[in-house]
Amino acid sequence: MQIELLFLALSAALCLVLTLPYTAALVLKLGPSVMAGNREDFPALEGWVGRARRAHANMVENLVPFAALIIVAAVTNAFGQGTAIGAQLFFWGRVAHAGAYIAGVPWLRTGAFLISYVGMILIFVALVR
């Protein structure tokens, strides 16, 4: 498997894993019947639970363009050093982003986001060369 595809798969797995902490916390806090319901009048999520939910939402938003870039690189046989480094920067940046976001460390979160964004830029540059 190409390293870029491996990091795409790992990024998808990270996106799935990011649902677990806040979902488990909400089940414990609100109960399974509320979580199984339609979630109308759902309470605002505060503290680390809210940050975990937002970290997941941010991962979903960024996984879409990352996946598109990797798929285009795969279809056009454009994998190379730039796409490999970009995919790794994206993934590890997203891991750091999630950890910093859930822990509530704003500047580290922002830096990690930028690292993952640079990863996508490297992949894009490799595609248009």
Residue 43 has a pLDDT of 80
The CATH number of whichever domain residue 60 belongs to comes to 1.20.120.550
- Rounded CA-CA distance 107/92 in Å is 16
Residue 61 has pLDDT above 90, yes or no: yes
Residue 40 has a pLDDT of 79
Q: Structure pTM?
A: 0.93
Which structural domain, as residue segments, surrounds residue 20? Answer: 3-38+46-128
Residue 109 has a pLDDT of 97
The tens digit of pLDDT for each residue in 63-100 reads 999 999 999 999 999 999 999 999 999 999 999 999 99
Neighbouring C-alpha atoms within 13 Å toward the C-beta of 44: 2
Structure-derived torsion over alpha carbons of residues 94, 118, 111, 8, reported in degrees to the nearest 10: 0
The tens digit of pLDDT for each residue in 6-23 reads 999 999 999 999 999 999
Domain count, the chain: 1
End-to-end Cα spacing for the chain: 23
Lowest mean pLDDT among 9-13, 36-40, 103-107: 36-40
- Rounded CA-CA distance 18/35 in Å is 17
Q: Are 9 and 90 a contacting pair, CB within 8 Å?
A: no
Structure-derived torsion over alpha carbons of residues 30, 62, 106, 41, reported in degrees to the nearest 10: -30
- Rounded CA-CA distance 86/102 in Å is 24
The tens digit of pLDDT for each residue in 40-58 reads 777 888 999 999 999 999 9
